[in-house]
Structure 1
Amino acid sequence: MLQQVPTVATTTPQPPLGSTRELAGFLAGLVPEAVPPAAIDAAKVMVLDLLGCMLGAMRTPEVAMAAGVMEALGGTPDCTAIGFRFRTSCQNAAYLNGVTSHVIELDDTHRDSITHVGSPVIPAALAMAERGGASGLEFLMSVVVGYEACLRVANAVQPSHWRRGFLSMGTCGTFGAAAASAHLLRLDADRLADALGLAGIQAGGLNSSIYGEGDMGKRLCPGHAAGTGIVSALLAERGFTGSRNIFEQRKGFCESFADDYDISRITADLGKVWEVTRTSLKPYSCCRYNHAAIDGMLDIMQAEAITAGDIAGITVRTYDIAVTNRPHRVQPHTLFDAKMSIPFSLAVAARKGALAEHDFTEDLLADTSLQDFAGQVRVEADAAMSAAFPREWPAEVQVALRDGRGFSRLVPYPKGEPEAPMTQAEVETKFRDLAHVAITPDAANQVIALVNGLDRATGVASLMAAITKGLRN
C-alpha cells in the first residue's frame, strides 16, 4: 500500500503593489484616528486661506466671465457658487470655485512639488461635501487625502514636469481632486485606483500663459482639475474602470509627463509625512518665485529706513527657473503679467511697503516711475540656488543706494513656508483683507469661526450659508 504524502498548501507569490494601488489602498483606508491633529489643523488653515482667495477675486473680469458661463449652463442646484447667489451642479461649482481661487495669485504653494494645490483640491472637496452632506471632519479628511494624492504625484515628476511646460495644479491637481471626491464617496481601494486612472487620462494644464501676453488661460487649470476629479470619482463609483497603474505603467502619467521622475516618491513615508503640513501660504499677491526677493528688499528698507527713491539699483540672485521661466517685463501688459515679474513686483513693494492684493491696481501698469524702478532691477541665476531648487526657493537681494552704500540679504525660505510660517493672526488678517471685497466684516468673522470649528461641525452647509448671507450685493 502506497503511503500517502500529506499535501502542503501553497500560495502563488503575489507581485508587489504598484505605486497607484499602494497609494489608493492607503488613502482608501484612512480614518481620522490615523491622521495627526497637525494635519487637520493645516487643512483648516488651507481652507480659510483659499476661501479668502476666492472672495478677494470677486471684482475681477475673469471671475465675472466664468460665473456668467456657469450660471448660464445651469445644472442641478446642488452646490454653492462661492461669492454669488446662484447654485449650480457639483461639477460646475467646483470648476468655477477652482478658477476663482487662482485668479489673484494668492493661493497656497507646495515647494518640493512646485504646485498650487488648494485651488484644485479644496473646491472639489467642498462641492462634494456640500452635495453629499458630509460632516466637517469628513470634509477636512478629504482635503488631507487630496493634498496627499496631488502632491505625492507631483513630487515624483518635478521639476522635469515644470521644465516640459506643465502646471502641476492642473495635471496632478486632477489626482488630488479625484482622491478627495473618492474619500467623500467612501470608495474602496480598487474604485479609488479606478478614479486615479480616470483622472490621469484627463489630466492637463499648460504653462503657456506665463510666456504670452498675460492672457487669462492659466486660471482655468485648477477649475478643470477640480471638475474632472469629481467626474472621475463619480464614474468610478458606478464601476467605470480606469488604469489602476496609471503612475507606473508604460505610457502612463509619469513617463508621459516628465523626462525624469522618481516613482518611489509617490509612496515614500506614507502615514509619516503629511504633505498638507508642508504646504506654504503666500503673503504677497504675485508669483511665489518673487517672494524671497520681496522679503529681502523690504527687510533692508525697513531696517535701514530707506525709501524707493534712495535706491539706485537692485540685483536679485536666485534659482534658474525663477529667472528663465518668466519674461520679467518692466512694462507689463496686464496685472497677471505684472505679478509674474520680479522687477515690477519689487517696484510696487518698494513704493507701498507691502504687496497685498489691494496694492496691485490697473493704474500701476502705465506708471513710468514704477517702470523706471523695475528697469534698475537685474535678475540673475545662481548655480548653488539652482541646484537646491525645488527643495529650497531662496534669493539673495543686493540693494545699491544713491549715496554709495549697499546692503544685501539672503532669504533661504520666504515668509509663509513651514520654516517661516505665517501666524494664525496673519492668516486671519489676510482672509479679512481679501474677504471684504465680497462679504461684510461680521460675515468674515463668522466664516473664520466656522472654519476653525469644522472638525466639530455637522457639515459645510452653515459655512456656505454664512458666505452667501454675508454678500455685500
Structure 2
Amino acid sequence: MPAHVSEKAKHHILDTIAAMVSGSRLKAGKLAIKFIQTQGGTAECQVVGSKLLTTAINAAMVNGFSAHADETDDSHAPSFTHPGCAIVPAALAMAERENASGEGFLRAIVLGYDVSSRIARVMSLIPCQLQGFSTHAMGPLFGATAAAASLAKLNTRQVRHALAYTGQQASGITSWPRDEEHVEKAFVFAGMGARNGVTSVVFVQQGFTGEDDIFSGPNNFLDMFCPAKTELPKWIDNLGSHYEISAANIKKFSVGSPIQAAAEAMTILVSKYGLTCDRVKGIDVHLPPQCALTVNNRSMPDINCQYIVSVILLDGSLTFKACESYERMSDPKVREVQSRVNLIGDPKFADQERQRPGLVRVHLTDGQTLEEFVPAVRGTFDNPMTRSDVEAKSLDLLHDILGADRAKTLIDSIWDLDRLKSMQELRHLLSA
C-alpha cells in the first residue's frame, strides 16, 4: 500500500473515531448505548465513549450510530456516501474480535472505502434518488463487509458468501431527510451498515453458506439496484492503482456537507473585515440548487444553513458546541440575524452538486457589498487537510470527553497504527 494512501487512511480513521467519541454524547449515540446495555453478549469489543464491552455485531452498530450522530464524519462526493461512519466501526469491531494488528486494520479500511465507493458509483446517484434507494446506506454496507472480511481472513469462497448475505441485507430508502433528530439517519448511514456487514462475516465464520456470486445471474444485486452496472468493469480494472479513500473528504466544520463552503466563506469574510452584526444589512448565500434545498431552514442546527451563517457572524467563528445547540436556534439574537440571511439555490451551480461550492455576499449598512467564493472547502479532494489540520479538529472533539492527555495519546496511537501489534491496545483510550 503506497505511503500516501496509508497516511490518508490514518486521517479518516482519526476523524471517524473522533466523531464516535463526540457522537457518544449526542442523542443518537446515547440512545444506541442505552439499547446495547439491554442486549448483553460476549465481551469482545469496546463500545466507544462508554465502559461497555459487547459483541462485535453490537459494537459495530452502536459505534456506527455515534459516528454519524451528527455531521462531523467524512464523505465521498463521487459516490454520494459517508463511508467512514459505517466502515470504521465495522473494521474496529472485527479488529478487536480477531486481535488484528494496526497494519491489518489500515489495509481493511482502505479496502472498505474501495468497495463502498465502487458499489455506490454504479448505483448512480440520480436514478437511485428517483427510485428512493439510498447510496449512503448500500455503498458503505458493502464496504463494511469487505473490511470485516479482510480482518477475519476469510478465504475466497467465504468472501463470496459474506457478500451474498450482504446483498440480501441491502436496504435504505431516502425517506431519512424527514428525520428531524438525526437518529434514524444515524442508523441508515452508519449503524445499519456496520452491523449488517459484520453480521455477514460472523455468519460465514460460523459456517453459513450461500450463493457464490450476488453480482451475476438472475435477479442479482446489480440488476436490482445499479443502473450504471456497465461501468463496473472500469472501476474493477483500477483496483490497486486508484484508491477511493484518496477522493474522500474530511469536514472542516461539524455541519452538513452542503453548508461547508458557505461556512468557510462566511468565516473568511468575518475574519478579513472584522464584521459585526450592526454593520450587516443582509447576507446572500448561493449554493447548488439541491444543496440549498437540503439545508434550507432545517430543524437541526448542523444542517440549517441560515443558522450556521448567523452564529458565525455573531461569534466570529464556528464551534462544535454551536453546531449542536438547539437552544441557540431559538435565541432571539440568532433568530434576528437569521432573518437577514437569504439562501439561494443558484442555477449556475446546478452541475456542481457533488463539488458543493459556495458564494456568500454580505451587504453592509454603508452600502458596500463584500463577497467570498469557495470552490473547494478545506478538507475536500481539491483542498485536502494536513495531518495537523485533522489533529486540531480531532482534539476539539475529543478533549472534553477523554481529557487532553488521553486525547493526545489516542491521536498519537492512530498516527502509529502501522506499528501497533494489537487493536485491543486502543480499548482503554476509547472508553469513557
Q: Over residues 172-218 of structure 1, what are the superposed CA-to-partner deviations in whole Å (9 max), with x where a residue is unaligned?
A: 11101100011012223333232222212112223424235445211
Following TM superposition, by how much is the alpha carbon of 1:157 offset from its aligned partner in structure 2, in angstroms?
A: 2.0
Question: Tell me, what secondary structure is at the counterpart of 2:371?
Answer: strand
2:381 alignment partner, one of 413, 418, 423:
418
CA pair 292-243 structure 1, distance change in 2 beyond 3 A: farther
1:356 alignment partner, one of 316, 319, 322:
319
The structure having more radius of gyration, on CA atoms, is: 1
**Aligned positions of 1:391-402 closer than 5 A:** 392-402=355-365
Following TM superposition, by how much is the alpha carbon of 1:325 offset from its aligned partner in structure 2, in angstroms?
A: 3.5
Following TM superposition, by how much is the alpha carbon of 1:114 offset from its aligned partner in structure 2, in angstroms?
A: 1.7
Q: Which amino acid aligns with 1:400?
A: H
2:280 alignment partner, one of 292, 311, 314:
311
**Aligned positions of 1:149-168 closer than 5 A:** 149-160=115-126, 161-168=128-135
Following TM superposition, by how much is the alpha carbon of 1:239 offset from its aligned partner in structure 2, in angstroms?
A: 5.0
**Aligned positions of 1:32-71 closer than 5 A:** 35-71=1-37
Per the normalisation by structure 1, the TM-score is: 0.85
In the alignment, structure 1 residue 435 sits paired with structure 2 residue 398 = yes
Asked if structure 2 preserves the Cα contact closer than 8 Å seen for 1:200 and 1:246, the reply is yes
1:112 aligned residue: 78
1:225 aligned residue: 193
2:330 aligned residue: 366
C-alpha distance in 2, partners of 1:397/1:244?
53
In the alignment, structure 1 residue 321 sits paired with structure 2 residue 287 = no
Q: Over residues 22-52 of structure 1, what are the superposed CA-to-partner deviations in whole Å (9 max), with x where a residue is unaligned?
A: xxxxxxxxxxxxx211111111111111111
C-alpha distance in 1, partners of 2:428/2:257?
32
Equivalent residues, number: 428
Question: Tell me, what secondary structure is at the counterpart of 1:437?
Answer: helix
1:127 aligned residue: 93
In the alignment, structure 1 residue 274 sits paired with structure 2 residue 251 = no
In the alignment, structure 1 residue 236 sits paired with structure 2 residue 199 = no
Asked if structure 2 preserves the Cα contact closer than 8 Å seen for 1:451 and 1:463, the reply is no
2:304 alignment partner, one of 335, 338, 341:
341
C-alpha distance in 2, partners of 1:55/1:215?
16
Once structures 1 and 2 are overlaid, which stretch shifts more, 128-137 or 166-175? 166-175
CA pair 449-339 structure 1, distance change in 2 beyond 3 A: same
CA pair 407-228 structure 1, distance change in 2 beyond 3 A: same
C-alpha distance in 1, partners of 2:56/2:20?
17
In the alignment, structure 1 residue 196 sits paired with structure 2 residue 160 = no
Following TM superposition, by how much is the alpha carbon of 1:260 offset from its aligned partner in structure 2, in angstroms?
A: 5.6
1:379 aligned residue: 343
Following TM superposition, by how much is the alpha carbon of 1:164 offset from its aligned partner in structure 2, in angstroms?
A: 4.1
C-alpha distance in 2, partners of 1:167/1:369?
37
Q: Which amino acid aligns with 1:210?
A: P
In the alignment, structure 1 residue 296 sits paired with structure 2 residue 265 = yes
In the alignment, structure 1 residue 141 sits paired with structure 2 residue 138 = no
Once structures 1 and 2 are overlaid, which stretch shifts more, 407-416 or 199-208? 199-208
Aligned-residue RMSD, C-alpha? 2.1
C-alpha distance in 2, partners of 1:345/1:91?
36
In the alignment, structure 1 residue 246 sits paired with structure 2 residue 214 = yes
Q: Which amino acid aligns with 1:75?
A: G
CA pair 292-166 structure 1, distance change in 2 beyond 3 A: farther
CA pair 304-266 structure 1, distance change in 2 beyond 3 A: same
Asked if structure 2 preserves the Cα contact closer than 8 Å seen for 1:149 and 1:179, the reply is yes
Per the normalisation by structure 2, the TM-score is: 0.93
Q: Which amino acid aligns with 2:385?
A: M
Q: Over residues 247-266 of structure 1, what are the superposed CA-to-partner deviations in whole Å (9 max), with x where a residue is unaligned?
A: 46564434433556643454
1:90 alignment partner, one of 52, 56, 59:
56
Q: Over residues 333-355 of structure 1, what are the superposed CA-to-partner deviations in whole Å (9 max), with x where a residue is unaligned?
A: 4xxx2222211221122222322
Structure 2 segments unaligned to the other structure (5+ residues): none
C-alpha distance in 1, partners of 2:313/2:330?
17
Please identify which structure carries the higher helix content. Answer: 2
In the alignment, structure 1 residue 79 sits paired with structure 2 residue 45 = yes
Structure 1 stretches (4+) deviating beyond 6 angstroms? none
Q: Which amino acid aligns with 1:373?
A: V
CA pair 254-355 structure 1, distance change in 2 beyond 3 A: farther
Once structures 1 and 2 are overlaid, which stretch shifts more, 220-229 or 339-348? 339-348
C-alpha distance in 2, partners of 1:142/1:167?
24
Question: Tell me, what secondary structure is at the counterpart of 1:198?
Answer: helix
CA pair 325-234 structure 1, distance change in 2 beyond 3 A: same
Q: Over residues 230-272 of structure 1, what are the superposed CA-to-partner deviations in whole Å (9 max), with x where a residue is unaligned?
A: 1112223455344554346564434433556643454252211
Asked if structure 2 preserves the Cα contact closer than 8 Å seen for 1:139 and 1:184, the reply is yes
Structure 1 segments unaligned to the other structure (5+ residues): 1-34
C-alpha distance in 2, partners of 1:308/1:163?
42
Asked if structure 2 preserves the Cα contact closer than 8 Å seen for 1:196 and 1:242, the reply is no
C-alpha distance in 2, partners of 1:189/1:250?
22
Q: Over residues 381-405 of structure 1, what are the superposed CA-to-partner deviations in whole Å (9 max), with x where a residue is unaligned?
A: 3334222332x22122222122111
Q: Which amino acid aligns with 2:137?
A: G
Q: Which amino acid aligns with 1:202?
A: Q
Once structures 1 and 2 are overlaid, which stretch shifts more, 259-268 or 189-198? 259-268
Q: Which amino acid aligns with 2:401?
A: A
C-alpha distance in 2, partners of 1:463/1:424?
20
Question: Tell me, what secondary structure is at the counterpart of 2:286?
Answer: strand
